Structure 1
Amino acid sequence: MASRYAAVAITTNGIRLALKLGALLADTEVYGYAKYSGDLQETSSALQVFAEPVRELLPKLFRQYEGIILFFSLGAAVRLIAPLLTDKRTDPAVIVIDESGEHVISMLSGHLGGANRLTLQIAQLLDSHPVITTASDVQGTFAVDLLGAEFGWRADHFAPMKTVSAALVNGEAVAFLQESGERSWLPPGAVLPAHVRLCGSMAELQEAPFSAAIVVTDLLLTGPASAALGERAVVYRPRSLVLGLGCNRGTSQEELETVVQDTLAELGLSLLSVRNVATAGIKGDEAGLIALCAKYGWKLTLYSPEQLNTVVLEQPSETVFKATGAYGVCEPAALLSSGARDLVLKKKKSGNVTIAVARVSFNEAGESLHE
């Protein structure tokens, strides 16, 4: 499916407006009820005409598109969409627009599904009034379930989201600790509520009184820290770690994966925080490396011998130089990719694999310095 959005209209005016939006909003496919499409289907090749009742059409579209834009009353939309709902993490964004285009209403999946963002975009295109009712947006703060989404942050567990979100919008004490990752996570124009306390360390967070907590870290939480947070904390994993990997020719994905998992576990680091793998260009065709990166969605960043040799190493290897043209692979690759000055883990050899780990450096604006 090439299109991201489906615009559905069941009146003549609604179909005209849907076609207008389709011409302005990229990746939008327009569906018009046959009975009221009339000459519009002859003048617009973009119009998909349907003859069945809209209640039969919507289930087909609901699982196919990222967003559904409905040009009819909110009440009708509620009745038609209700039987199709599954989960806020998978349901598409649903937008409702009256047939005169006065109001654009974010109806479903405002945060995770992107309906709020899409509502604002459509309202600007149609010169309409956006209607958004989610509490965090109305209050001008941030949405817990969207924190760091633009950076690829991922939550360890989704279950605490409801508890933490409720505490945030109801003015309860919320502790916030960030140990790694981008610092520019607060949306443009949003403000940090007075009841959110920024903590400088896990020890400070554990001592602070709070109803809920948000922790942004690449460290695994164990012992007292885990016990203190319990089920009232959302733990986000920023993409803040770079794995420098070297391996003998033909090393399997399974061996590489085992070394990575065991190494991160020993360091107390989360696998979810790995941003990318870095290595020598000569390793760019290693099937095991390629398969490992594909499994986890990691980018494989490659460096030439000349680039790797710009990094001064404590223990340059003549053996590695003869094989690759560089005096080291995993350590310089990790440092170059992360922008870090020091390694979290210096080169460690395990079987056919060598691994080094670096933490991504961010500038004062919270932006990563390298990839």
Structure 2
Amino acid sequence: MKIAIASITKHGTETARKLAEDMQADLYYMSKFRHGDEEEKGITLFDGSVRLQLPMMFERYDGIVLIISLGAVVRMIAPILKDKKTDPAVVVVDDRAEHVISVLSGHIGGANELTQKVARLTGARPVITTASDVQKTIPVDMFGREFGWTFEYDHYLTQAAAAVVNEEPVLVVQESGETNWWKHARPMPQHIRTVTSVEEAAQTVHHAALVVTHRLLSEKDLASLRYPVVYRPKSIVIGIGCNRGTDEQEIEAVVDETLSELSFSKRCVRMVASIHLKKDEEGILSLVEKNKWPFITFSPDELNKAPMSEKSETVFKFTGAYGVSEPAAYLASDGGNIVLPKKRSGNVTISVAVM
């Protein structure tokens, strides 16, 4: 997170200077508290109300720590608030650094985490009022965030979050993705249950459903669930082989067509895998760079040790491996489920595994 720290009092400025150094944050305070080293340290001085600095900070920073009274901060930020998905985290520290309060964008914006960090550095007491944090249960708007899960269908985020904190029956429908998402020391509450498919969830009483899946869900699937929220885990691994010089457009067209045929979400692609010979293949490199996918390659010996549904003497003749896309997908997915062993399309061979 890119952090700004601002203070308007003498004592607050001393706290802010130390905190900014510890956090490598940008620092702002009033000119009358000048120390003389501001230019050297890149500290910004201002005159007049800090209110005038806040619109700029909201645009430039992910998190803002204000050593100012809570009431003043609430009044100052109210006119510039836009949306919980885009507003920065705002944290307030009192003038004696006794309390650190998460004020805005607690979950999605990271204010709760920022509050805990500031508290550790200052010795202050963290004040967090988000119900799911207080109750130590599932934070619906951050579920799976540490694994890279993203929202795709969040129309009922508020209703689902209410169901979790109000201890109403909630289902975690997990068709793929990491399973170690329960992070609390206490056992999972009885009102939260896990099932392995949308079909099973539809037949189970629930007030909200947190659906973790790589599949594209139909309107019928969504309609069968009460207050569904869909999360996209990074669980798909694509193995690719291609003729030398195959361009990015052809490779991506095959990837898109294949995922569509499987009814899989492209947002769930975790990585692309191939043979060492393809580590400099321009078409593949352009594809993974465009989509921000990691790209991993294996030696022929490694590929030959992996299971494959079909071995090709022709492929072996040119590469030293009896197969490329299928064993690469298997190895990159740590032995995941090969849902598409191999498909040839033009100059491209593709395989798909689900972790």
Q: TM-score, normalised by structure 2?
A: 0.94
Shift of 1:300: 0.8
Residues 269-328 of structure 1: CA deviation (Å, up to 9, x unaligned): 221211000011221222221222122221111112222222243422222223323221
Shift of 1:223: 6.2
Aligned mates of 1:218, 1:48 — CA distance in 2: 47
Q: What is the SS of the residue equivalent to 1:106?
A: strand
Aligned mates of 1:163, 1:6 — CA distance in 2: 33
1:328 aligns with 2:326: no
Residue of 250, 264, 270 corresponding to 1:269: 264
Residue of 8, 20, 40 corresponding to 2:18: 20
Aligned mates of 1:23, 1:111 — CA distance in 2: 25
Counterpart position of 1:108: 104
Letter aligned with residue 20 of structure 2: G
Shift of 1:134: 0.7
Aligned mates of 1:152, 1:341 — CA distance in 2: 18
1:84 aligns with 2:48: no
Counterpart position of 2:246: 251
Letter aligned with residue 63 of structure 1: E
Aligned mates of 2:111, 2:130 — CA distance in 1: 11
Query: Mapping of 1:207-226 within 5 angstroms?
Result: 207-222=203-218, 224-226=220-222
Aligned mates of 1:16, 1:40 — CA distance in 2: 14
1:163 aligns with 2:137: no
Q: Which runs of 5+ in 1 are unaligned?
A: 361-371
Counterpart position of 2:178: 182
Letter aligned with residue 19 of structure 2: L
Counterpart position of 2:63: 67
Identical residues among aligned pairs (%): 47
Closer/same/farther in 2, CA of residues 207 and 33 from structure 1, 3 Å limit: same
Closer/same/farther in 2, CA of residues 270 and 54 from structure 1, 3 Å limit: same
Q: TM-score, normalised by structure 1?
A: 0.90
Aligned mates of 1:47, 1:61 — CA distance in 2: 14
Query: Mapping of 1:236-315 within 5 angstroms?
Result: 236-315=231-310
1:33 aligns with 2:30: yes
Q: What is the SS of the residue equivalent to 1:344?
A: strand
Does the Cα contact within 8 Å between 1:140 and 1:191 map onto a contact in 2?
A: no
Aligned mates of 2:307, 2:39 — CA distance in 1: 67
Shift of 1:126: 0.7
Does the Cα contact within 8 Å between 1:9 and 1:71 map onto a contact in 2?
A: yes
Shift of 1:87: 1.3
Residues 19-65 of structure 1: CA deviation (Å, up to 9, x unaligned): 1111222x312111112x13364698353222353122111121111
Counterpart position of 1:363: none
Residue of 50, 54, 58 corresponding to 1:54: 50
Q: What is the SS of the residue equivalent to 1:175?
A: strand
Does the Cα contact within 8 Å between 1:142 and 1:190 map onto a contact in 2?
A: no
Does the Cα contact within 8 Å between 2:163 and 2:170 map onto a contact in 1?
A: yes
Letter aligned with residue 328 of structure 2: A
Counterpart position of 1:368: none
Does the Cα contact within 8 Å between 1:181 and 1:217 map onto a contact in 2?
A: yes
Residues 174-215 of structure 1: CA deviation (Å, up to 9, x unaligned): 222112111111233465332223224433311122221111
Does the Cα contact within 8 Å between 2:89 and 2:111 map onto a contact in 1?
A: yes
Closer/same/farther in 2, CA of residues 142 and 70 from structure 1, 3 Å limit: same
Aligned mates of 2:11, 2:36 — CA distance in 1: 11
Aligned mates of 1:191, 1:31 — CA distance in 2: 44
Counterpart position of 2:343: 348
Closer/same/farther in 2, CA of residues 191 and 49 from structure 1, 3 Å limit: farther
Does the Cα contact within 8 Å between 1:173 and 1:195 map onto a contact in 2?
A: yes
Residues 120-153 of structure 1: CA deviation (Å, up to 9, x unaligned): 1111111111000111111111200111101001
Aligned mates of 2:324, 2:248 — CA distance in 1: 18
1:235 aligns with 2:233: no
Does the Cα contact within 8 Å between 2:90 and 2:103 map onto a contact in 1?
A: yes
